[in-house]
Structure 1
Amino acid sequence: MTAPQNQKRKFALRLPRLPWWGWGIAGAVLVGIVVSVAMSMPEQGSWRYGACKVFLQRYIKYPESIRFIAGGETMSTVSIVFSDTNPFGAQQIRVFECLFSNPDGRLSLSKITMDRKPIPDEIVKTYNALLPTLAGIELETELPPPPPNSLENLKED
């Protein structure tokens, strides 16, 4: 045997000899691991959700007090349910909605509401000017986890 043939055999990958059902079990375990890892990853929203989240953090007076409770989006609307602390220290649960439109092939904000009350148009125009900048930035788009089924787990300390 020559040296190059010996090296080929040396580095050859040898798979263990298993019966057909052994490979089936190994495949099922591998699929189970992949599925469990995929299911444990948090849900992600689109960049529109991330942009709406940025607008919310700019609009609230104390953005560090925001706790995201729920979020979701449809084809034209992004809604975020959150709690925040007002200047008097009272905590309240609120809803922030961004309504997007696509008039000229460009995505733009048509309306923003906080607790179903529209935010002034001047602020919406300012945020519309920020959309092209936000489109080029990687935004935080992680959706909040769904609320627990048990009322016991909903208690806060």
Structure 2
Amino acid sequence: MIKNVDLLLQFWGSELKNGKLEASIPSMLGSLAEDLATTGVRSSSSKDLSLVPAHLKLSRLADDVDCALLMMFNDKDRGGLGNTGRAGSLWRLARVRYVRCVGVPINEQLLVLGISNGTYKRWLSDLHEFIAGVFPEYVDAA
């Protein structure tokens, strides 16, 4: 296990677990201007604000880590074969260890994941090596 990479993943997990939703409410004036510019007629449709798109707001670093974890699925050299491949296993480990089961003893995490202790350690090592390859500055800082 790489300590600084573990801290980086803990930061990512904390932001995912405790993050804030940010809503994108379209401007009424903007849609009016678009309607007038394209058709010359004002649209009379009303917007239901309960259907406003929202997303989780992450810091830039947490967003970069999230993107790196998703990049695993495209990395054919590291087994990026989709949800059933190596990337899916490592992504699931990251979600369980750093988001869902923070502070839960490893024995209970093993039950959630349905794997042995040896597999857990091997997956954790592989996950840390992948993240260290994407963020080498965190390994050098150790």
- What interval of TM-score do these two structures reach, taking the shorter chain for normalisation? under 0.3
Higher fraction of strand? 1
TM-score, scaled relative to structure 1: 0.25
Whose radius of gyration is greater, 1 or 2?
Answer: 1
TM-score, scaled relative to structure 2: 0.27
Which structure is higher in RCO with an 8 Å CA cutoff and minimum separation 6? Answer: 2
